[in-house]
Structure 1
Amino acid sequence: MDWLGRQFSLDASRAAHDDPYTVLFDIGAGEVLEIPCAFSAFHDTELVEYTDAALASGFFEQWLRQHPEPIGFDQCAGYTVPLFLGGADEASNLSLTDLDVSWTLTGRLRAATRG
């Protein structure tokens, strides 16, 4: 997971030579993104060379300027108004929250607004 509470997972159904691809579950955006490379390349290249794209590191720096306290392993900076409900993708729309609470409540909102 990352600081926004997004979950990274492996997709064994998409694999290159027994090297599964990576999937990103973004609860704040209400999306599942297929990362177009095998896990080893994601870990060794994407996270190193494309840190901002993979982990929103620039956005994290903005967050830290406003919230210098550490984020606990069981916490995330969750969207106050999720992006799929029209929330702004900016640091002022984030608040420190319990990771489980963020996924549970935002997941319910996403399920209720689908279709």
Structure 2
Amino acid sequence: MSGSCNLKTCWKATPDFREVGVILKERFDYATQIKVSNDNYGRLETIYANRPPFATDLVYFDRSPDFCDRNRELETPGTRGRICNKTSTGPDSCAALCCGRGFNIFRQTRVERCNCKF
């Protein structure tokens, strides 16, 4: 037996945040709606699916509410009247915020004093 010590270090690191987001978004897009009923002995019954969900699949019971229109019960304001970004493809895009209702384009000019010193 020697007098030296062997040291083994194990590192665990979280995956890249964007990578996790991409995987979750993909699983969200293919999530399976399920319902539980007493007539099938408490087993899960899939709705609109050709196969039972895998252990790694996302499942849900109820569809998400429509956030385009105002919902007083859920206290969501809807998106009507919101300003959208016509060049964006993200959540602030006109396609996402206007929900197929169409939109008007207007040019806005702002004059501000910048208190610049030369």
Determine which structure has the larger strand proportion and give its number.
1
TM-score range for the pair, normalised by the shorter chain length: under 0.3
More helix by share: 1
TM norm structure 1: 0.21
The structure whose RCO (Cα within 8 Å, separation 6+) is larger is 1
Q: Quick check: which has more Rg, 1 or 2?
A: 2
